[in-house]
Chain A
Amino acid sequence: MPLYYFDVDDNGTVYPDDEGSDCDTFDRVKEEAIRALVEMIQNSLPDGDRHKLVIKVRDDRGGVVLQVSLNFEVQAEHRSHGGSSPDSHV
């Protein structure tokens, strides 16, 4: 089975994958990347009003074959809440 490498860019910090995973089809690569992204963002939120998480998948020849990104953003209403911080729950 072909090996794919899932590199992660978490708010600008890059975590390269040097081990790779077996995936039999490209659909499977896509599903893994999407599910991993959702799992990971759940793990890191809430951590502020902005978060960008990207997974770039390389094949074993080194080319990027897929990029999945998630942009999280909280926009507070311009309304006073008596000094309390804006609600950043998702």
Chain B
Amino acid sequence: MDRQIEPNKNALLRRLAPADLSLLVPHLRDTFLELRSPLENAGKPIEFVYFPQNGLASVVAKKRANVDAEVGIIGFEGMTGSALVMGDDRATHDCFIQMASEALMMEASRFEAALETSKTLRPFLLRYVHAFHIQATYTAMVNARSNIEERLARWLLMCDDRIVGNRLGITHEFLSMMLGVRRPGVTIALQVLEGRGFIQSRRGEVVIRNREGLIDLADGGYGDSEAEYKRLLGDLEIQPQIVA
């Protein structure tokens, strides 16, 4: 009768205590989220919590129409709905799908009920929320102190950590929004990274060729936040890399 869900494909669900997982499982269901699917809307109550199994969601802060910047990345290592874990019921920023994603989802009210029922679920998820905030603090740092190429390198690495394989389906237009940089700046940064053999950039696609090179280039922007995730939650197992 009921379809088999696969909680193990999400790093948080995989690490939950069995009793906590069994509180959530009856309410979890599979979903496929297409590019740009909205998961949370700024200022609105959070309706669902998503645990991605693959793909990517972005939290994007908007200054005004068409002036926005990405402030958080969520993949199989995380979840949406951090605000619920901290006792709030609404989203501060928009959150939407940036690369198509299979995810497990549940109603926010069911999720809140589980947080109230268990003594261990919230403390565990708070460690993730903390890791997610640490990611945002590094984003703040690189946005203030790193140049476009360094920021692009960091961003590509963060995406590469979360996707299967090494091909990112991404347009320059989208990168420009994610990095808060105008299009020509993105075009050049991509070509500079390509010139150094770190990536291959094609129309609508970036292929990662040299992670070590990108990490060096990111100049401290990448790595510390990832190490903090590992300290708080355990190894961030990088998705299998299929080298083309």
Contact = CB atoms under 8 A, between A and B. Distances in A.
B173 A17 contact: no
B143 interface: no
Interface residues of B: mostly helix, strand, loop or mixed? helix
B182 A36 contact: yes
Given A19-B171, A21-B173, A40 B184 contact: yes
A40 B182 CA distance: 9
B148 A8 contact: no
Interface residues of A, number: 17
B181 A6 contact: no
Q: Looking at chain B, what size class is its interface with the partner chain?
A: 10 to 19
Interface in B160-217: 171-173, 181-185, 187-188, 191, 203-204
A43 interface: yes
Interface string A32-67: 110111011001000000000001000000000000
Contacts of B22: none
A43 B203 CA distance: 24
Given A18-B203, A21-B183, A43-B148, A10 B188 contact: yes
Given A18-B203, A19-B173, A43 B185 contact: yes
B147 interface: yes
Nearest to A18: B203
A15 B188 contact: yes
B147 A55 contact: no
A36 B147 CA distance: 14
Given A19-B171, A19-B172, A19-B173, A6 B184 contact: yes
B32 to A, nearest CB: 27
Q: Which 3 A-B pairs have the closest CB atoms?
A: A36-B182, A36-B184, A6-B184
7 contacts: A6-B187, A15-B188, A19-B172, A32-B182, A36-B182, A40-B188, A43-B149
